[in-house]
Structure 1
């Protein structure tokens, strides 16, 4: 039994089925409605510390690439281009590149001219800027990845049950029974939680405690913004991480954007208008990165939605995050998997150990997308997202899953 039908749950279910298990996946809402629904979907290990966490991220990068094979519509292994302008940023970047090269992680110093050849529509940077290219990094279109994983799981006989919110897990002489809010009862010999930001609540059903940052706390490290633009005319083929703005292609000419310095003002209880101050500021920064994008525009009506995800830029252990989407049709979101093993639990097969005892720090992560509903006025698709986890225990769940019952519990 797997709880949660996001990227991690789908991958775990497919792997278990491939090994001969009879698997049922219980999803409280619908697939892609939870943690998977918000991610910058940037596959990297460039700033992930300490070293065991770096190794886990690197394994995830390789598993994505292996799973995609010679090509997949959800996978874009085009690298990441980062540049620094301030002395402090240059110093941090230089330290990171040296550390990565010592670990044989591809990182290259390039010139402004070379950066322009990689991205012809890259906005002009100050003459004193320095550029670094991380060629092995990638980004995904997560909704397509999730579809691939769930489709593969179903092909192997996995049953996916939507609208099945787990409210109790009972143990008895005959085994374990998972009970849902709709009255459904599902027998299981082993239960694996892939419940994202709901991990703590699921774990409490069996008397376990998983410390996690409160995803409802305004101004905390668990809160941040994301936005998706309307289709833009700028050419963009990879992740760009600039001094004040990050952007990646999001399919159909749309761009996913974030500005990490704005996150401190995010309030999970506050609605954000599609043409409000945050949305306007995000789009105003777009020309700093892409010259052909103009000031861009958001898209979608002011329609709220709640989901979860992560921001992908800095280092440290991950935070689960919850977000509010202002604008767009929530049924058409691109969903963001973490930069971790998608290929049917590859890390589990490789025996990656849980990251016990590791420190927890804020991790910059990205959120999902907000395509427009047809016939609606242009606006801003802004997401207030929360990165919310807390400890290595939560990290072990997030990426390796949490085994709630069974012979190894």
Structure 2
């Protein structure tokens, strides 16, 4: 029977960061996924590194720390090719949308976030392919933002954890059940038999609630679907994340553009069938062409609906699973931004016994009556 210090279940961006951090901290780690690492939520995420709409202030600051942790991780891994910094640009419709954006920029700047308004001329110099409506004289610029090639980073993290720190990675190995005794999980049962780990960390994203039901643990995590479209390479270069009315877009790691927006997400959910994806992706493409000249003439080469985890109160869940002394859970809607930080903090907690005050508002036991 195999024996490990830590078993990490689920190898998306959060789980892969946890594997890397726990193995780097000296633990003997088993990294296990029911499918292929990064093939779930992380592979269908817009992957915007930011803290632009993360409130209240405690959650905003957690995400700011997450952005800083990604910069540390990029330096640690060397030229990983997955992190793309340079900021993001945003403008809004005249009226309520513009007033909300101005209030948000002022609030974020007051919190010390890199948020400011720049002239449309400066924004156009940054991204020559962008085309702004006549009423837009200034554009919001969030200078610390970036985007992430999440699948690429997952591969790099797991490779480094295995080759440099001795972690064992198992793909296509679903955990079928747990063997628990009292307040401890003593074994994980897979098709290959039972595995024993001193500590267990669950990072299964939108499957969290169903996965933990056999343990009678209250960790309420819902599912938030979203549609993304990937295009062929554009005729003009785009370097940054852009949010315009009705569309958000950024470069894709494959050389095209990645497109999405909230109201089309809702259409995709209500349609409930993949047969409508080409029509919905065409909406995204048409809107992108209104604001970015390089999007005209490109084709949609892929469209997919991803399902992201959504904790019941909208905020990250990080800590011991209620009722268990040796089992932890991480679940968050902000997995891309927070992955590097959560991995590091939970590794400190599991391996070194060092709890971070930063996670105090986000513990799972807040849901226990």
What TM-score, normalized by structure 2, do the two folds share?
A: 0.81
Query: Alpha-carbon deviations, 1:121-144, whole Å to 9, x = none?
Result: 111322345311011101011121
> Aligned match of 1:250 in 249, 252, 260?
252
**Residue of structure 1 equivalent to 2:100:** 92
**Residue of structure 2 equivalent to 1:15:** 21
Structure 2 CA distance for partners of 1:143 and 1:394, relative to 1, 3 Å: farther
**Residue of structure 2 equivalent to 1:272:** 275
Aligned CA-pair RMSD: 2.8
**Residue of structure 2 equivalent to 1:176:** 186
SS in 2 for 1:5: coil
For residues 18 and 343 of structure 1, the distance between their equivalents in structure 2, rounded to whole angstroms, comes to 14
What displacement does 1:165 show?
Answer: 1.1
> Aligned match of 1:158 in 147, 163, 167?
167
Aligned: 1:123 with 2:131:
yes
Aligned ranges 1:325-364 → 2 under 5 Å = 338-342=336-340, 345-348=343-346, 349=348, 351=356, 352-356=358-362
**Residue of structure 2 equivalent to 1:230:** 232
**Residue of structure 2 equivalent to 1:189:** 198
Would you say the 8 A contact 1:79–1:138 is kept in 2? yes
SS in 2 for 1:236: coil
Aligned: 1:282 with 2:292:
no
**Residue of structure 2 equivalent to 1:325:** none
> Aligned match of 2:301 in 284, 299, 302?
299
Would you say the 8 A contact 2:36–2:171 is kept in 1? yes
> Aligned match of 2:88 in 80, 88, 102?
80
Query: Alpha-carbon deviations, 1:280-312, whole Å to 9, x = none?
Result: 211111222212321421115x9xx7754479x
SS in 1 for 2:361: coil
Aligned ranges 1:326-405 → 2 under 5 Å = 338-342=336-340, 345-348=343-346, 349=348, 351=356, 352-356=358-362, 393=364
**Residue of structure 2 equivalent to 1:203:** 212
Would you say the 8 A contact 1:230–1:254 is kept in 2? yes
Structure 2 CA distance for partners of 1:175 and 1:309, relative to 1, 3 Å: closer
For residues 149 and 338 of structure 2, the distance between their equivalents in structure 1, rounded to whole angstroms, comes to 14
Say which is worse superposed, 202-211 or 131-140, in terms of deviation.
202-211
**Residue of structure 2 equivalent to 1:146:** 154
Structure 2 CA distance for partners of 1:223 and 1:7, relative to 1, 3 Å: closer
What displacement does 1:337 show?
Answer: 5.2
Aligned: 1:113 with 2:116:
no
For residues 108 and 78 of structure 1, the distance between their equivalents in structure 2, rounded to whole angstroms, comes to 14
Aligned residues between the structures: 330
For residues 354 and 266 of structure 1, the distance between their equivalents in structure 2, rounded to whole angstroms, comes to 36
SS in 2 for 1:143: helix
Aligned: 1:24 with 2:30:
yes
Aligned ranges 1:213-224 → 2 under 5 Å = 213=222, 215=223, 222-224=224-226
SS in 1 for 2:176: strand
Aligned: 1:43 with 2:43:
no
What displacement does 1:238 show?
Answer: 0.4
Query: Alpha-carbon deviations, 1:344-390, whole Å to 9, x = none?
Result: 8234448121434xxxxxxxxxxxxxxxxxxxxxxxxxxxxxxxxxx
What displacement does 1:28 show?
Answer: 0.6
**Residue of structure 2 equivalent to 1:361:** none
For residues 256 and 3 of structure 1, the distance between their equivalents in structure 2, rounded to whole angstroms, comes to 29
SS in 2 for 1:299: strand
Aligned: 1:4 with 2:10:
yes
Would you say the 8 A contact 1:227–1:257 is kept in 2? yes
For residues 366 and 168 of structure 2, the distance between their equivalents in structure 1, rounded to whole angstroms, comes to 26
Would you say the 8 A contact 2:175–2:189 is kept in 1? yes
What displacement does 1:246 show?
Answer: 0.4
Would you say the 8 A contact 2:80–2:156 is kept in 1? no
For residues 109 and 316 of structure 1, the distance between their equivalents in structure 2, rounded to whole angstroms, comes to 28
What TM-score, normalized by structure 1, do the two folds share?
A: 0.74
For residues 276 and 18 of structure 2, the distance between their equivalents in structure 1, rounded to whole angstroms, comes to 38
Q: Unaligned regions of 5+ residues in structure 2, if any?
A: 1-6, 318-333, 349-354
